[in-house]
Copies of this chain bind each other. A is one copy, B any other.
């Protein structure tokens, strides 16, 4: 789909036209002076609607210079090509695929029509006909998977005779293509234009994730792919796939097919087959996105117990088993045999260097009721401290996962309980109260960490809550420079209690876009008014690309969403 109507950059050629653009823009931002028909006070003052000097760029690149000189772009002549010097050529299908995708975003359905007119006079001096993509490092990483240490930087120069996008690796090139497409706008007559621009860009944080939960509600593959697509539009680079949990186990394991056979909402219609998982991983890779699966234990495992006998702890009512089950049973050797086999499979199915092992919210009630567990506690000398039992389990699990050559991420409780962690462990801070103190502690202990506590997007409220997410400063905790370097990023979490295919996408976007800019752009990028203006238009761009991103406030998009 196209970007027409989102006219945002000042043209040097006609100041009168610029004014008209601004009027159009103010209209598009749609602010009403009148009262609103409601009786809840708006918590935040409404931001001022005024075109940003950065146009519709989102997230804002690290360094941007936009001149007033503009060029036209024609769908019939414009090409995205490999630079001659590029280390990635025609054989790099990741890039070839991306060229087509961004051409489609930029010129959409209009292309074919215009081409039929076959104009021969193509040497308009103010036309930009080419974007050359130049991978500068000898290894483009075209056929690799993105990782925590991947170089995502790029430099973009839009000028005649052609624009150049330079990046050490394909990952930076993907981001640069998104940025290039965001620079394009339509003038008053619908002519596609781009201003002469110089951009130098790289992410502030290396880990910029979205957590989706496919256990509380199953998400059809189509929904996951659409959100990966949108993540790329926002320069997110980690899909944290909270794939199983208490309510259902949709992951079809080759080694233990009974897990989904018994534990999924439905064994055929509500599972992710190995082919599905592969498709998600490849679709993500082509967009520079890592897929980090989470298999949360020992709590959050009710659905595991249905297909794996004796995995969970039998709870007791008095002296007899009650028929219900608690967390994973940590005192049986069979538990660890199972975990060894299961995580060995996981390590081959998911190529990322990390797997998320969960470890949050372990309820001790069931363990406390079980006489065998009590006996084990005595034998081990754990006394009444069940967190020691939890740590005992996690420690063994971490050792198992280490043998599969994976690094691991864990929720903060595992660190809090004093489990011995590998130095490269990523501690995931999620508990709302005191997350600054937690960040201090975790980094003081020398662990890398990511922040989610302020970004639980499943919590909804009336009004522009994106501003709350936007105003978070992940490094505001007390700590040394060295500690702050250990914060590698954050994740926006959309837990699944209240979302499924019907409402997930508009609930996530553009609220997650606020997190995207916080994690990508420079620390100093904190102007909420400017963000409002850019984000309003970024959301219309997502809508034009077919994503039902919800509105920030009363407004309109030149082309509204076509679904229902």
Set B40, B501, B548: member contacting A560, Cβ < 8 A: B501
Q: Specify the chain B residue showing the minimal Cβ separation from A39.
A: B432
Q: Taking the nearest CB of chain B, how far is it from the CB of A64, in angstroms? A: 29
Q: How far is the CA of A408 from the CA of B325 in the complex (A)?
A: 61
Instruction: Please tell me if the beta carbons of A461 and B458 are within 8 angstroms of each other in the complex.
Output: no
Interface string of A294-322 (1 = CB under 8 A from B): 00000111110000000000000000000
Instruction: Please tell me if the beta carbons of A498 and B560 are within 8 angstroms of each other in the complex.
Output: no
Instruction: Please tell me if the beta carbons of A216 and B554 are within 8 angstroms of each other in the complex.
Output: yes
**Which among A30-38, A275-283, A333-341 touches the partner chain?**
A30-38
Q: Does A558 contact B (CB under 8 A)?
A: yes
Q: Does A270 contact B (CB under 8 A)?
A: yes
Q: How far is the CA of A32 from the CA of B223 in the complex (A)?
A: 23
Set B363, B432, B506, B555: member contacting A217, Cβ < 8 A: B555
Q: Does A361 contact B (CB under 8 A)?
A: yes
Q: Taking the nearest CB of chain B, how far is it from the CB of A215, in angstroms? A: 8
Instruction: Please tell me if the beta carbons of A36 and B556 are within 8 angstroms of each other in the complex.
Output: no
Instruction: Please tell me if the beta carbons of B35 and A300 are within 8 angstroms of each other in the complex.
Output: yes
Q: Specify the chain B residue showing the minimal Cβ separation from A547.
A: B564
Q: Does A98 contact B (CB under 8 A)?
A: no
Q: Specify the chain B residue showing the minimal Cβ separation from A551.
A: B500
Q: Does A178 contact B (CB under 8 A)?
A: no
Identify whether the interface residues of A are mostly helix, strand, loop, or mixed. loop
Q: How far is the CA of A177 from the CA of B418 in the complex (A)?
A: 63
Q: Which of A329-382 contact B (CB under 8 A)?
A: 360-361, 363
Q: Specify the chain B residue showing the minimal Cβ separation from A361.
A: B35
Instruction: Please tell me if the beta carbons of A30 and B500 are within 8 angstroms of each other in the complex.
Output: no
Given contacts A35-B300, A38-B458, contact A564 B501 (CB under 8 A): yes
Which residues from B are CB-within-8-Å of A302?
32-34
Set B39, B301, B556, B562: member contacting A431, Cβ < 8 A: B39
Q: Does A12 contact B (CB under 8 A)?
A: no
Q: Does A134 contact B (CB under 8 A)?
A: no
Instruction: Please tell me if the beta carbons of A560 and B500 are within 8 angstroms of each other in the complex.
Output: yes
Given contacts A32-B247, A556-B218, A556-B265, contact A564 B498 (CB under 8 A): no
Instruction: Please tell me if the beta carbons of A299 and B34 are within 8 angstroms of each other in the complex.
Output: yes
Q: Which of A433, A459, A498, A502 has the most CB of B within 10 A?
A: A502
Instruction: Please tell me if the beta carbons of A34 and B300 are within 8 angstroms of each other in the complex.
Output: yes
Q: How far is the CA of A461 from the CA of B465 in the complex (A)?
A: 12
Which residues from B are CB-within-8-Å of A324?
33
Instruction: Please tell me if the beta carbons of B266 and A558 are within 8 angstroms of each other in the complex.
Output: yes
Instruction: Please tell me if the beta carbons of A502 and B551 are within 8 angstroms of each other in the complex.
Output: yes
Q: Which of A489-514 contact B (CB under 8 A)?
A: 495-503, 505-507
Q: Which of A37-72 contact B (CB under 8 A)?
A: 37-40
Set B226, B246, B501, B558: member contacting A561, Cβ < 8 A: B501
Q: Specify the chain B residue showing the minimal Cβ separation from A46.
A: B497
Q: Does A391 contact B (CB under 8 A)?
A: no
Q: How far is the CA of A550 from the CA of B23 in the complex (A)?
A: 37
Q: How far is the CA of A365 from the CA of B324 in the complex (A)?
A: 65
Q: Does A163 contact B (CB under 8 A)?
A: no
Q: Specify the chain B residue showing the minimal Cβ separation from A453.
A: B39
Interface string of A235-268 (1 = CB under 8 A from B): 0000000000111100000000000000001100
Q: How far is the CA of A222 from the CA of B505 in the complex (A)?
A: 20
Q: Taking the nearest CB of chain B, how far is it from the CB of A260, in angstroms? A: 13
Q: Taking the nearest CB of chain B, how far is it from the CB of A500, in angstroms? A: 5
Set B32, B499, B551: member contacting A551, Cβ < 8 A: B499
Instruction: Please tell me if the beta carbons of B246 and A496 are within 8 angstroms of each other in the complex.
Output: no
Q: Specify the chain B residue showing the minimal Cβ separation from A242.
A: B37
Instruction: Please tell me if the beta carbons of A563 and B246 are within 8 angstroms of each other in the complex.
Output: no
Q: Taking the nearest CB of chain B, how far is it from the CB of A342, in angstroms? A: 19
Q: Taking the nearest CB of chain B, how far is it from the CB of A427, in angstroms? A: 16
Q: A33-B246, A217-B554 given. 15 additional CB < 8 A pairs?
A: A31-B247, A32-B246, A34-B246, A34-B300, A37-B245, A37-B300, A247-B554, A248-B556, A461-B461, A463-B498, A498-B551, A501-B560, A501-B563, A502-B549, A503-B551
Sorted from nearest, which 9 A-B pairs have the closest CB atoms? A34-B246, A502-B548, A503-B506, A32-B247, A216-B554, A265-B556, A32-B246, A501-B561, A503-B550
A/B interface sample: 24 pairs, CB < 8 A:
A27-B265, A30-B265, A34-B245, A34-B299, A34-B300, A35-B300, A38-B458, A39-B432, A216-B554, A217-B556, A220-B561, A220-B562, A222-B562, A247-B554, A265-B556, A460-B462, A461-B462, A497-B553, A498-B551, A499-B550, A502-B543, A502-B561, A502-B563, A503-B503
